[in-house]
Structure 1
Amino acid sequence: MSSLPRIPRDRSDDYSEGAVAARQQLVREHTGSALEHVASYSLDPGTLPGNIENFLGVAQVPIGLAGPLLVDGEHARGEFYVPLATTEGTLVASYSRGMKLCAAAGGIRTTVVDDRMQRAPVFLFPSAREARDFGRWLTEHHDDVAAAAEATTRSGRLLDIQQFSAARMIYTRFNFATGDAAGQNMTGKATFAACAWIKQNYPGELNFYLEGQFATDKKSSMVNMLHTRGKRVVAEVTLPAALVEEQMHVSTDKLFRARLVGNLGGFMAGVNNNGLHSANGITALFIATGQDVANVAESSAAYGFSELLPNGDYYAAITLPSLIVATYGGGTGLATQRECLEVLGCYGTGGVLKLAEIIAATVLAGELSLGSAVVAEEWVQAHDDLGRNRP
């Protein structure tokens, strides 16, 4: 039995001024914390149901402005100021430096290659033969399964169902288009309805778990990097050799050599990402724009590619194969998060692919900036000047 009192709750309105004040007073009495800043906020607690329980206050994360970022995308076109929420010194400055370099080279070209979110139920059978037969039945009844799933959502659409057999089980990936929402909850509800229809209509014996851990939600995995979870986005740029020398104080051949050495080091370490710090920019943008920050575990997975061109120019690209973002629903409509999305021109319906392209371009700019700083031996000095080891 706990020696501490229960956290106060108001069943009629747990986001009321009184309910919030009661929790704040509880913390003050039992921890000694004054909550001077946590309890100060401008948002309306009445907007928070569905986003948080036992609301107490806010955690204020500084937001810096990087840019301008010049993007030549199919959805994001033009220049953008990019809000980055972080407590890591040098981060905003480094991303701005990379953005300046890429803008001088004509901007970053971005392409959304794929878009899908999944839930991955597993079906269990008495033997492998029954599992095989079910797989054939499932393929034949795809339209009926899709109808059952899509009856639960206005914007979700079942694209396909992948099948992977093992022992007497069929692991599946129900792949959905989810519009401007990230779609994890949407796909869960839709897939559960589909599985219920399957259970009711399949002529044989089966059992299922709604999630067989094959969607690897909030965990990076090779299956998502190969088959896409969320948005699959490519950002690429070609940098003139003279421009790199002028702005980054390093030659393109040295930059390329460092990439080769780093690729081997990453391979030896067993990383799922041969880039440098994609999680930095993605996390900062996720916090600023109200994304589910835990999705950084998947979203920061990246394929980096560089090429030293015959004339000495430098081609660089980053592929984000499992970028999970939204411009509608979740935390995107909260006060400060909505404002940051509006800064990018991405809030609401029709903005999600634009946001995905901006994030990919931001990541590429950050990769180029940090990579150049390491090779030019400016990395440590930058942290000394701007970072957390200042007095």
Structure 2
Amino acid sequence: MTDLRIPREDDDYAPTAIEGRQRHVREHTDSPLEHVASYSLDPTTLPGNVEHFLGVAQVPIGVAGPLLVDGEHAQGEFLVPLATTEGTLVASYNRGMKLCREAGGIRTTVLDDRMQRAPVFSFESAREARDFAAWLEENFDSIAAAAEETTSSGKLLDIQRFSVSKLLYTRFNYSTGDAAGQNMTGKATFAACAWIKQNYPRELHFLLEGQFATDKKTSVVNMLHTRGKRVVAEITLPAALVEEQMHVSTDKLYAARMRGQLGSIMSVTNNNGNHSANGLTAMFIATGQDVANVAESSALYGFSELLPNGDFYASVTLPSLIIATYGGGTGLATQRECLEVLGCYGSGKVLKLAEIMAATVLAGELSLGSAVVAEEWVEAHDKHGRNRP
């Protein structure tokens, strides 16, 4: 029987270890790894990011912009790197950015910032669960102190409590600085739960995660209560500019928006927009975010108004945008360069990045929405989005 076990060494990021895995794959598959095995990054920077390192996946990066942002953290024009293999995506976002720039730019506002871990506590009866919920509130300061001993940047903001039967589901809400914070909150909450178990005067049992943080899954609870950054992007578009740039009238754009609202309600989606996941995924890949977080981050509340003078107000609210400018994949070679393009690498930059991402999403929503109404959507994909061998 063929031995397909993956070769490993004590120093698993050394050249001999990497070459051994490349040779192993070449011998047992049909791929020569001509491109996968070619890279410019330093493998010694990869511990903590990937195991069994073999090579790289080269995703094309296009640049869109300038994106004009009037935010509290992001001010001015930005060139936005988008990593994608979908034709028309960069062109569409670029078109939306052009429209918004000529309308005076996109205003952005960060409303909230929190990350969760959600332990569930088990008791013998519903009354015990109720009493424990009150005890948590009374002892919050001590619990927070235990949690914060594990981190230099995380702060426990509050503990939400939800009783069901003889169980108490909780959400430990933290601020996490420039890190996304899932690992940070896990470690801190485990320390907090250890303190709770040691100091609570009665018996209890807990699971560190009761699936109520809904990590990397879309949920209503996170859309209502925030996970990551809650950020709004908004703009008012003059009717004449929309007609000139997008070849559609604002009344038709608004009518289509209302029909889309009903469709999204019927289908029970995580947003009532067009394609927030497109721009966010492309930016996540380019800037070293955890791409699986798009499952939550793509959630969107879209709101529009047709104003009395015919102008069009449009906004998007991203209630669970989970991003970082420090830690994770953000410091790797390619990803760091893309963050530097945005002026968002390092500490103190995560809210700036959140505003740029929200503005990018709004530009993309306006572009695709207009293309659908103007019946240019299929033609654009046919012209720019087909790549067949």
1:221 aligned partner:
219
Query: Which of 158, 180, 194 is the aligned partner of 2:192?
Result: 194
2:40 aligned partner:
42
**Tell me, what secondary structure is at the counterpart of 1:100?**
helix
1:80 aligned partner:
78
Once the two structures are superposed, what CA deviation does each residue of 1:23-63 show, in whole Å capped at 9, x if it has no partner? 00000000021000000000000000000000000000000
* Distance in 2 separating the partners of 1:306 and 1:183: 33
Q: Does residue 1:375 correspond to 2:377, yes or no?
A: no
The letter of the residue matching 2:197 is: K
The letter of the residue matching 2:65 is: G
Query: Which of 42, 48, 51 is the aligned partner of 2:49?
Result: 51
Q: Does residue 1:8 correspond to 2:19, yes or no?
A: no
Counterparts in 2 of 1:296-315, with a 5 A limit? 296-315=294-313
* Distance in 2 separating the partners of 1:258 and 1:4: 58
**Tell me, what secondary structure is at the counterpart of 1:102?**
helix
* Distance in 1 separating the partners of 2:41 and 2:210: 39
Once the two structures are superposed, what CA deviation does each residue of 1:152-173 show, in whole Å capped at 9, x if it has no partner? 0000000000000000010000
The letter of the residue matching 1:386 is: H
Asked if the contact 1:120/1:212 (under 8 Å) is kept, the reply is: yes
Once the two structures are superposed, what CA deviation does each residue of 1:303-329 show, in whole Å capped at 9, x if it has no partner? 001100000000000000000000000
Counterparts in 2 of 1:119-198, with a 5 A limit? 119-198=117-196
Under a length normalisation based on structure 2, what TM-score does the superposition of the two structures give?
0.99
**Tell me, what secondary structure is at the counterpart of 2:352?**
helix
What are structure 2's unaligned runs of at least 5 residues?
none
The letter of the residue matching 1:19 is: A
The letter of the residue matching 1:357 is: E
Q: Does residue 1:251 correspond to 2:258, yes or no?
A: no
2:238 aligned partner:
240
The letter of the residue matching 2:318 is: L
**Tell me, what secondary structure is at the counterpart of 2:270?**
coil
- Measured after TM superposition, the shift of residue 22 of structure 1 is 0.1
* Distance in 2 separating the partners of 1:272 and 1:182: 21
- Measured after TM superposition, the shift of residue 5 of structure 1 is 3.2
Counterparts in 2 of 1:306-385, with a 5 A limit? 306-385=304-383
1:265 aligned partner:
263
Once the two structures are superposed, what CA deviation does each residue of 1:170-228 show, in whole Å capped at 9, x if it has no partner? 00000000000000000000000000000000001100000000000000000000000
* Distance in 1 separating the partners of 2:387 and 2:30: 29
- Measured after TM superposition, the shift of residue 390 of structure 1 is 6.0
Asked if the contact 1:112/1:232 (under 8 Å) is kept, the reply is: yes
Query: Which of 230, 236, 250 is the aligned partner of 2:228?
Result: 230
**Tell me, what secondary structure is at the counterpart of 1:92?**
helix
The letter of the residue matching 2:301 is: Y
Asked if the contact 2:4/2:28 (under 8 Å) is kept, the reply is: no
**Tell me, what secondary structure is at the counterpart of 2:158?**
strand
1:18 aligned partner:
16
- Measured after TM superposition, the shift of residue 4 of structure 1 is 2.7
Asked if the contact 1:289/1:341 (under 8 Å) is kept, the reply is: yes
Counterparts in 2 of 1:105-124, with a 5 A limit? 105-124=103-122
- Measured after TM superposition, the shift of residue 384 of structure 1 is 1.3
Change (3 A) 1:390 1:22: closer
Query: Which of 59, 62, 85 is the aligned partner of 1:61?
Result: 59
* Distance in 2 separating the partners of 1:62 and 1:375: 29
**Tell me, what secondary structure is at the counterpart of 2:41?**
coil
1:102 aligned partner:
100
**Tell me, what secondary structure is at the counterpart of 2:36?**
coil
* Distance in 2 separating the partners of 1:390 and 1:14: 38
- Measured after TM superposition, the shift of residue 387 of structure 1 is 0.4
* Distance in 2 separating the partners of 1:276 and 1:79: 24
* Distance in 1 separating the partners of 2:202 and 2:2: 53
- Measured after TM superposition, the shift of residue 269 of structure 1 is 1.1
Asked if the contact 1:383/1:389 (under 8 Å) is kept, the reply is: no
**Tell me, what secondary structure is at the counterpart of 1:145?**
helix
* Distance in 2 separating the partners of 1:375 and 1:133: 56
The letter of the residue matching 1:250 is: V
- Measured after TM superposition, the shift of residue 358 of structure 1 is 0.3
Asked if the contact 2:68/2:101 (under 8 Å) is kept, the reply is: yes
**Tell me, what secondary structure is at the counterpart of 1:111?**
strand
RMSD (CA atoms) = 0.8
* Distance in 2 separating the partners of 1:51 and 1:329: 10
- Measured after TM superposition, the shift of residue 389 of structure 1 is 5.2
Once the two structures are superposed, what CA deviation does each residue of 1:284-317 show, in whole Å capped at 9, x if it has no partner? 0000000000000000000001100000000000
